[in-house]
Amino acid sequence: MKEYAWGWIEDNKERIIEISDAVWEYAELGLVEYKSSKLLADELESHGFRVERGVAGKDTGEPLQTGHTFAGSPLSCAAGLVNIEVIEEEKLVENSSKMGAYLKRRLMDMMGDHRIIGDVRGRGLLIGVEIVKDKETKEPGVREADSITANAFQKGLYLVNMGAFGTRALRVAPPLIIDKEQVEACLEILESSISKVEREL
């Protein structure tokens, strides 16, 4: 079975799992410094079954010890393995990379047309769209982000807006199976919601 890295991105104090086909991608991105003696661990959901995973270098020379309320569940392990098989068979890592790059490019274009989009950042199908009151000052647009998510939800698009220290970013994290037509439908709703909020400012 092919090895995958299940890295994480620390953004606004929320830990998000990202699938990547580069085994130590988080080291490449500078998100964490990888050392062979360091164990990186987190949990992922397999359709309701909690699965703990860990990543460590082969040369650690140390046994991996971990404990969890649901540790050692054969059912969770089976669900996790089936998830990985589906990810491989349906080429969801490749789809995440392809659709994510397209989605980010379209959001970057959208940023040029809208004064309340302060930044677009992310990788794969995990992208943050920073909402601001003013692009120059980068003053967070808390009320604006709330209005965008509420308006988008009324039109059928569920988004989360989140942030630490008063900032606000829309978390754009569609499912790994999304296709280009669905991306376009989501972007159409998002842009119309942003435009509506801008007109009301």
Residue with tokens 């299940």: 6
Question: Each residue of 137-146: b (16+ CB within 10 Å) or e?
Answer: eeebbbebbe
**Mean pLDDT over each residue of the chain, to the nearest integer:** 75
CB 144 within 8 A of CB 197: yes
Model pLDDT for residues 145-181, shown as the tens digit of each residue: 999 999 999 999 999 988 877 788 999 999 989 999 9
Query: How far apart are the C-alpha atoms of 139 and 49, rounded to whole Å?
Result: 40
List the domain boundaries for the chain. 5-89, 93-200
Banded model confidence at residue 72, pLDDT cuts 50, 70, 90:
low
Q: Is the pTM of this model over 0.75?
A: no
For the chain, the straight-line distance linking the first and the last C-alpha, in angstroms and rounded, comes to 53
Residues whose CB falls within 8 Å of the CB of residue 77, separated by 6 or more in sequence, listed in order: 51
What's domain 93-200's superfamily in CATH?
Aspartate Aminotransferase, domain 1 (3.90.1150.10)
Banded model confidence at residue 61, pLDDT cuts 50, 70, 90:
low
Residue 15 has pLDDT above 60, yes or no: no
